Each structure stands twice: as C-alpha cells, then as structure tokens.
Amino acid sequence: MAQATSAQQVFEAMPGRVNPDYVKGINAKLQFNLSGDGGGQWVVTIADGQLTTEQGTAPNPNVTVSASASDYLAIINSELNAMNAFMQGKVKVVGDMALVMKLQSLFGSR
C-alpha cells in the first residue's frame, strides 16, 4: 500500500493485504482504539484463515491496542518503529502478547 493517509484507509485495506496462510489456525479478535484526529475504534477478526475488519468494539477481544491515530499511521507508514512506540508508551497493548508478536505486520512492522 502507498502511504496511508487515514486509519480508516488502513483498516479497509487490511483484509486484502493479508495472506490467508499467514493467519491460518488463528482465531482472535483484536480491538484497536485510536484517539485524536482521524481516530476511532476498529475490530479485526481473524477466523478460518480470513481476516475481516469493522468499525466498533468487541466485547472480549484477545488484544486491545490503544494509540493516537497519528502515531498509528506513522507506524504503518514506517515513520515510527512499533517496538520503540510501545517502549515509549505511545502504543499500549493489553492482552495476549504472544498473539501480538505473531501478528506484528498488522501493527505496522514490515
């Protein structure tokens, strides 16, 4: 994907960018809470080798990721290192950290 200009663009494009073999055998819900301009809430569902996204919230996500929309876009656009952002407190992750590590590409690491 070219430079992402909005979080919505990222989440709309995400299902088409994921290799089904990459998510095979994973069943999880990931909640993204992005604050500030262009922010919002999105749920990423991985099940049966497919990934879907929708705006809103999941009642019991496996992982919740919170960040500003601008920091999330900077990570997606490779302008900010995801691990550094996490260590600096710019990205907060609650839940299954093993799942997060397995799915790093969804969080911007390429």
User: 2-23: per-residue pLDDT in tens?
Assistant: 789 999 999 999 998 888 888 8
Domain ranges across the chain: 7-98
Q: 7-98 in CATH: which number?
A: 3.30.1050.10
Interacting residues of 63 by C-beta distance below 8 A, sequence separation 6+: 28, 30, 31, 93, 94, 95, 96, 99, 100
CA-based end-to-end distance of the chain: 12
Q: What is the pTM of this model?
A: 0.90
What does the pLDDT read at residue 48? 87
| Confidence category of residue 110, pLDDT binned at 50, 70, 90 | very low
Span 80-94, pLDDT tens digits: 998 899 999 999 999
pLDDT in tens, 35-59: 999 999 999 999 988 999 999 999 9
